[in-house]
A and B are shown apart, each in its own frame.
Chain A
């Protein structure tokens, strides 16, 4: 355990109740439980925007949950509802088993009483306070003994790697340093729940990668539960235990990064979390093992993985990830294979990207780890194992 975390056990008597509670219920009580939450906004032209539309999610203690979705899908709004900064119009929110919002019972706990911390996209550091004063603020607001504050602030600053910057004002720091101060401020009170709203979107790519790595190791060390908003799928997959993909205010899919990548529930989710090749077709049959045969423009394909609602006779798309596709000039032995024409071949460092075309898809992507390039117009074969094809409903 880090010094910061050990601090908890001898610091606060209010803690006992919390610890006892988590002893008995530790793994069954979610840290955050959002139930059927709805939030509308009135735009200035009078129209109503449903930013959050019946969302239900759970965050277990110590778990890293990422809310992922394109701009405007309601991620920030959902997060702010959990924090108590927006008032939803319906649904329930529980934090540590305690109801903090209930639309029916007219319960809405103020943010300062929810016992959580948050990092804002703009960091929201107070410009008239030094880094140390910023970090000390939550402690004095929570009436921590004055004597203990300086030591805890110093430890928090050290933990985020800027022990020497305590006396600096935010304006005298780089974006990455400001980001670390915001992190220290969020972690200093040892809250077991921290919310993040795209905290890394304002720093450049190198710093972002570094901070992402540090953030993850701190989260694993301190063991707080994180609810993290981003529209960057790489970030989401690296950080998350669980990803909730949002689509226009609704949860489109909830699962581990692997599940969401390998078994997207819809074309929307699959396309958002990575590049997706699609071939339209009609389902011939679905066998008991969950495999399907699909008639397409390139022949009959067998796919080992299908979305739950797909039945025989449905109009569907058969999808695959570019890095799972074989590409060769000789006919491969794989069960699914067809002839294509290579349109472009580009070497991009870690991989070689090919765009191929055939009757039914003029833009079928293949990523290979070898460096072989093809001339435009070269006839070739692509091949796919059944496990690498998934059948999704055509509609969504």
Chain B
């Protein structure tokens, strides 16, 4: 007596043939839903890997046959050694600064009573909330030798002493300035890794050392540092990965400092030289890809090994009391936030309200006029905001949905197929946006796609670039939904599609919304690929900010930059509140999974 009677009437006859559609064959259950998931996965793997393949084939097979000559041409390019040298110096020096700074910040925020709770949560998000492009421009406004606000301030301070100068004393367009910019924008990455390492290390190890009579300093050197060595190693490698691909910071400085780096040269070859020197750009992209891929790969290996060895993980971490030094610790943490974010944003805000870059500090003439111009009068900035919003909303939505479907598929397929899909979809993660953009340009600009300079080509590049990260977030979301909840749905008679729509998706939703907000931020403020792919007919904000800087329209630039920050901040806040509200309706998740 079942209401679930199978659809074939002759149910006592196990005639396999006419029941076939209900049967699953092979090791993984292959259903229409798996088919769709797999199709999506393949499509998005291709979107990432195909352009890279095209790029490499251009390099080694420029005319369809193998020709090592192109690589030779690239190697003999004037100044190549210097560019590589510059890049390596900046990456190493900036990386060293970031590893030290990030570790100090991480130790203070995880292990001591100097921690400031909310900052520990915000810090890793900083690079997304405040794009390095905006931050670097803010710092040029602070430290330009003639009219940088800090320089003006210092000169005014010393003028009564008879020290009159029109320049300096600090120059952001210098080696020191460049290393400083590399360093501060790498810190969030090193912070995240070292903080995770510290959180996973049992603080009892340190307490044991203290009890045995060692002081704080000795304990750090003898116990803490060795315990987080894998995290430190991974952090160093991550700075190499980030540093080689870093574009917006050095691009802003290169014009006046003359310190050319790999990423900047690639973009110059494609956009500022006429005709575009695609061959050389492709060659340099290859260098970048190799350096970055090696660093990334080593980094994941170091991290994977470390999860096996360290980590006893029980017990609540106890905080070290710093006593009077506590305020020093706090000052360091707040100092980083001020330097990386508050000061540059204040500088931009000032310029936006003033309307131009001026260092006479009066409240007279402050207005919102530049914001009005950017939003309503200047067709280009207005179009850039609209385009970027479109790309970010559409891209983040597609990206997160696809990531969710693929994550579900990978999680539910026990066979080899799932693992292969997982590896392939994440393989694009370390590929720098600049390299990817070169590939997208080569692949989609010409016929048959003819998408050159279009918003669609940017959308493709953004999706290809950010989908790996989106799937990482979606994996975490999918892992929240225990397998039995899905099995119970199947047992109740629901197929894959209904199970995904009614069970998986709603339960993953809060995490997916959070992931969506991050994707939105990345895509909205994206600079690297935009500069290569967007055209003046189809501007986007990242490119427009950069162009306005190059053209010297600082008032408009500052207003646009502030608007970008505002929109990003509003979207993230709204998404966080929404996710929290939904989660609030589902407080039970924690209890039942």
Contact = CB atoms under 8 A, between A and B. Distances in A.
From DSSP, what is the main secondary structure of chain B's interface residues?
A: loop
A388 B544 CA distance: 94
B476 to A, nearest CB: 17
Contacts of A191: 2-4
B21 to A, nearest CB: 9
B366 interface: no
B488 A113 contact: no
Given A112-B491, A141-B489, A189 B12 contact: no
A111 B493 CA distance: 7
B11 A97 contact: yes
A113 B6 contact: yes
Nearest to B583: A128
A128 B4 contact: no
A43 to B, nearest CB: 14
12 contacts: A5-B1, A18-B2, A98-B11, A99-B16, A116-B4, A127-B591, A137-B489, A138-B492, A141-B492, A142-B4, A170-B588, A190-B1
Interface string B568-593: 00000000000000000111110111
B493 A138 contact: yes
A116 B22 CA distance: 15
A368 to B, nearest CB: 46
A124 interface: yes
A171 interface: yes
Interface string A81-100: 00111010000001011110
Interface string B213-233: 000000000000000000000
B3 A11 contact: yes
Interface string B472-506: 00000000001011011111111100100011001
Given A94-B14, A126-B485, A190-B2, A171 B591 contact: yes
A19 interface: yes
Contact of B507 (A19, A25, A115, A127): A127
Contacts of A235: none
A374 B506 CA distance: 66
B359 to A, nearest CB: 56
A122 interface: yes
Given A112-B490, A115-B2, A191-B2, A124 B498 contact: no
Interface stretch (A46-54, A101-109, A292-300): A101-109
A22 B487 contact: no
Interface residues of B, number: 44
Interface of A: 5, 8, 11-12, 14-15, 17-19, 21-22, 25, 29, 83-85, 87, 94, 96-99, 102, 105-113, 115-118, 120, 122-128, 137-138, 141-142, 144, 169-172, 185, 189-193, 223
A163 B502 CA distance: 24
Contact of A107 (B23, B485, B588): B23
A18 B493 contact: no
Contacts of A171: 587-588, 591-592
A126 B505 CA distance: 12
A83 B507 CA distance: 24
A80 B491 CA distance: 10
A134 B87 CA distance: 59
B1 A117 contact: no
B363 interface: no
A324 to B, nearest CB: 43
A137 B494 contact: yes
B1 A22 contact: yes
B493 A127 contact: no
Nearest to B494: A141
A17 to B, nearest CB: 5
B63 interface: no
A94 B6 CA distance: 13
A5 B1 CA distance: 9
Nearest to A125: B592
A109 B23 contact: yes
B14 A98 contact: yes
Contact of A109 (B12, B22, B491, B585): B22
B3 A15 contact: yes
Given A94-B14, A108-B23, A128-B585, A122 B482 contact: yes
